[in-house]
Amino acid sequence: MARVGVFVCHCGLNIAGVVDVKKVAEELIKEKDVVFSTTYAYMCSDPGQNLIREKIKEHRLDSVVIAACSPSMHEETFRNATRDLINPYRLEIANIREQDSWVHESKDATEKAIKITKATVEKVKSNEELEPIKIDVERKALVIGGGVAGIQAALDIADAGYEVILVEKEPSIGGRMAQLSETFPTLDCSQCILTPKMVSVARHPNIKLLTYAEVVGIDGFVGNFNVRIKKKPRYVDIDKCTACGDCEDVCTVIVPNEFEFGRKPRKAIYIPFPQAVPAAYVIDEQSCLGIAPLRCGECAKACEADAINYDMQPEYIEEKVGAIVVATGYDLYDKNNLVEYGYGEDADIITSLEFERMLSAGGPTQGKVIKPSNGKEAKKIVFIQCAGSRDKQHKPYCSSICCMYTAKHALLFKHHVEDGEAYIFYIDIRATGKNYEEFIARVMEEERINYIRGKPAKIYRQGDKIVVEGVDTLLGKSVKIEADLVVLAMAIVPRNEAKDVARLLKVAIDEHGFFKEAHPKLRPVEAVTRGIFFAGCSQAPKDIPASVAQASAAASKVIAMFSHEKLEKEPIVAMFGDACTGCRTCFYICPFNAIALDSKGKAYGIEALCEGCGVCVAACPVGNIKLPNYEDEQIKKMVEVILE
């Protein structure tokens, strides 16, 4: 015989303004097995929690129903507050706020609150007392992607004393930030603030850096992931290479340099950029003559350190890690998709990242702003914001950083070309970060940049000019600008490889391909699958401060996880009976891969992986799977009470 206590919360007027809470308490005390009921203004407050504790002791309650807000708000709060008195799984929340008082106005709301609470009483009475499941945890983290986000996450975790494996697919870490010139709003030189961090990664005793490498397999579960990493052959031993560059001098193969978007050449043996980490050369096997049977071998002859080895093979590394941080970053939306802007056809229409390189002292023009078509200084530039963003034809979302970097671009341009003229087409200006609005104001006022509200209607070449026509919707005036250069603030999109990573990790990506967080507000850095975290632009477009902040957040989640002896896990997991016929339905549909098959083809659950979603329970055609405390019988009884 259960002894149930019912606590009805007013939530100020949130609930009590609509629901007659007294009546709910009065009706509930009439229910079988309910031995106590009351109401209180704020159940979650300290006195509210104390009230519950006292009444449990006074009335020897073994079950508690709290009629209040959604369980996702305070279920944990209340369970923790009473953990020493009753089993947490004998406490249930009846949601009479989100599912009742907030959505109804009439007197029916009280009726509904009574039904919801009665049904919850019915459930709690037959709830089993459960204990959390304990899982071992491997105190080592994997970080995928070595942009600023991945670097920050790796450093934070490593500084806390845990081992980190940082996997970067390019020959150097650094990501996009390494390509930027100066950064808004403070105009620090991007390389200058990034390089020290890159070097710390390379030197950190707790970080194992694997560049030119990719994760090719992952299985296991939180605390116990098994990872398989493929290291592509670099043909240069990074430990021996001194980055003297002698090899580069002798190499005769010249190809476009990707880091410079092809606007500068490189050799088949190259270093991606001077500050690269690891500071070592790499041979691009596609263009090198020496890897092919007909050997060239010049670089090896030139290399005094004897670092070059044409026989290097791909290497596979297996690691066991407890947590994974995904920081695979972003790309720009392919400019060729924007046929309306004529990109690709015209050398004088470039993307924002190409413009960053043009502004960089180390870039293809040594910081000179030129017209690529003739190499002459560009005097008049049109910047186009939201190129591909906020556009249903392309990407419906806001890329969030283009307003800021375009302002920066215009400002830096004016610093480079004093008599230059800059025009910016924009839809709105979104400058919500700290000191961002001030930065925009400064650009607008001090630098006298011409902001034109509207989208350009037409872009075409006329002689050696690019003509941009549009309407300034603020002035209601049409504008026509004959520009030397057009810079497109292209939409930020996830890297192509992100979907492969998502597939390997079995985590969700959103409709645009960004990694999907467990909860957009309350769990913004973690995946639904436990032990996997997101940082930087892989989760959504964001600037450097936000990327770094999210990386630190992800790292602290990992550190918090590692600080426990064992991981605890909700015991609401699928339980398998012995009626399984091996139909594999559950095995196929479990979104968390928490089901395996034994040698006879019968299904069993992997507790540590199961999230208790219940999908398999509904799907099993023979009713062989149950979720404790969500048994059919309990649910039927709840429905009966509601239909009474």
Partner 1 sequence: MKKKIAMYWGAGCGGCDVSLLGVHEKLLDLLSVVDIVFWPCAMDFKYEDLEKMEDGSIDIAFYNGAIRTEENEEMAKLLRKKAKMLVAYGSCAMEGCVIGLANLYGREEIFDAIYLNNETTSDGKVPSHELPEFLPVLKTLDSVVKVDAFIPGCPPPAPVLEEALNALLNGETNFLANVALCDECPRRDSKPDKLEIKKIKRWHAVNDDGRCFLAQGIICMGLATRAGCKAECITANIPCTGCMGGIDGLSGTSTISAIASLIDGEDEEKEKEVIESIQDVIGTFFKYSTAKLLPYGRVKDES
DSSP 101: I
DSSP 243: -
**In this chain, which stretch among 75-83, 90-98, 109-117, 327-335 interacts with ligand FAD, using CB under 6 A?**
327-335
Q: Min. distance of Cβ 308 from ligand SF4 in angstroms?
A: 7
3-class secondary structure per residue, 466-532: EEEEEEECCCCEEEEEEECEEEEEECEEECCCHHHHHHHHCCCECCCCCECCCECCCECCECCCCCE
The contact pattern for partner 1, residues 618-637, with x = CB under 8 A and - = no contact, is xxxxxxx-------------
Q: Min. distance of Cβ 236 from ligand SF4 in angstroms?
A: 9
Please report whether residue 384 would count as binding ligand FAD according to CB under 6 A: no
> Using CB under 6 A, which residues numbered 580 to 639 contact ligand SF4?
580-587, 590, 592, 594-595, 603, 605, 610-616, 619-620, 622, 624-625
Element (H, E) at 445: helix 436-445
Element (H, E) at 188: strand 188-189
Q: Min. distance of Cβ 405 from ligand FAD in angstroms?
A: 4
Report the alpha-carbon distance of residue 616 to residue 593 in Å, rounded. 11
Among partner 1, ligand SF4, ligand FAD, none, residue 595 binds (CB under 5-8 Å by kind): ligand SF4
**In this chain, which stretch among 42-50, 103-111, 139-147, 293-301 interacts with ligand FAD, using CB under 6 A?**
139-147
User: Across the beta sheet with 485-490, what order do the strands follow?
Assistant: 349-351, 485-490, 380-387, 421-426, 450-453
* Angle value at C-alpha 200, between 199 and 203, nearest 5 degrees: 90
Q: 634: number of CA atoms within 13 Å, CB side?
A: 15
Report the alpha-carbon distance of residue 597 to residue 39 in Å, rounded. 50
Cα 80 from chain centroid? 30
Whether residue 175 contacts residue 148, with contact meaning beta carbons closer than 8 Å, is answered with yes
> Using CB under 6 A, which residues numbered 568 to 627 contact ligand FAD?
none
Whether residue 152 contacts residue 111, with contact meaning beta carbons closer than 8 Å, is answered with no
> Using CB under 6 A, which residues numbered 203 to 222 contact ligand FAD?
214
Report the alpha-carbon distance of residue 235 to residue 311 in Å, rounded. 7
Q: Min. distance of Cβ 214 from ligand FAD in angstroms?
A: 5
Among ligand FAD, ligand SF4, partner 1, none, residue 79 binds (CB under 5-8 Å by kind): none
**In this chain, which stretch among 99-107, 262-270, 400-408, 446-454 interacts with ligand FAD, using CB under 6 A?**
400-408
Residue number with CB closer to partner 1 (336 or 599): 599
* Angle value at C-alpha 160, between 154 and 165, nearest 5 degrees: 30
The contact pattern for ligand FAD, residues 350-379, with x = CB under 6 A and - = no contact, is --xx--x-----------------------
> Using CB under 6 A, which residues numbered 270 to 329 contact ligand SF4?
283, 288-290, 296-299
Report the alpha-carbon distance of residue 284 to residue 241 in Å, rounded. 16
Report the alpha-carbon distance of residue 273 to residue 195 in Å, rounded. 11
Question: Which residue among 95, 120, 328, 400 contacts ligand FAD (CB under 6 A)?
Answer: 328
Please report whether residue 109 would count as binding ligand FAD according to CB under 6 A: no
Please report whether residue 574 would count as binding ligand SF4 according to CB under 6 A: yes
According to DSSP, the residues that pair with 421 across neighbouring strands are 380
Residue number with CB closer to ligand SF4 (339 or 622): 622
Among partner 1, ligand SF4, ligand FAD, none, residue 601 binds (CB under 5-8 Å by kind): partner 1
Residues, the chain, total? Answer: 644
Please report whether residue 641 would count as binding ligand SF4 according to CB under 6 A: no
DSSP 308: B
> Using CB under 8 A, which residues numbered 544 to 583 contact partner 1?
579-583
> Within 286-435, where are the H helices?
298-302, 352-359, 402-416
Q: How many residues bind partner 1 (CB under 8 A)?
A: 19
The contact pattern for ligand SF4, residues 514-553, with x = CB under 6 A and - = no contact, is ----------------------------------------
Among ligand SF4, ligand FAD, partner 1, none, residue 421 binds (CB under 5-8 Å by kind): none
Please report whether residue 430 would count as binding ligand FAD according to CB under 6 A: no
Question: Which residue among 235, 273, 405, 451 contacts ligand FAD (CB under 6 A)?
Answer: 405
Please report whether residue 495 would count as binding ligand FAD according to CB under 6 A: yes
Report the alpha-carbon distance of residue 393 to residue 384 in Å, rounded. 17
Element (H, E) at 182: strand 182-183
Residue number with CB closer to partner 1 (103 or 618): 618
Report the alpha-carbon distance of residue 41 to residue 29 in Å, rounded. 19
Cα 240 from chain centroid? 36
Enumerate binding residues for partner 1 (CB under 8 A): 579-585, 587-589, 601, 615, 618-624
Enumerate binding residues for ligand FAD (CB under 6 A): 144-150, 167-170, 175-177, 180, 183-184, 214, 327-330, 352-353, 356, 401, 405, 408, 495, 497, 501, 536-537, 542-545, 547
Enumerate binding residues for ligand SF4 (CB under 6 A): 247, 250-251, 253, 267-269, 283, 288-290, 296-299, 573-574, 576, 580-587, 590, 592, 594-595, 603, 605, 610-616, 619-620, 622, 624-625
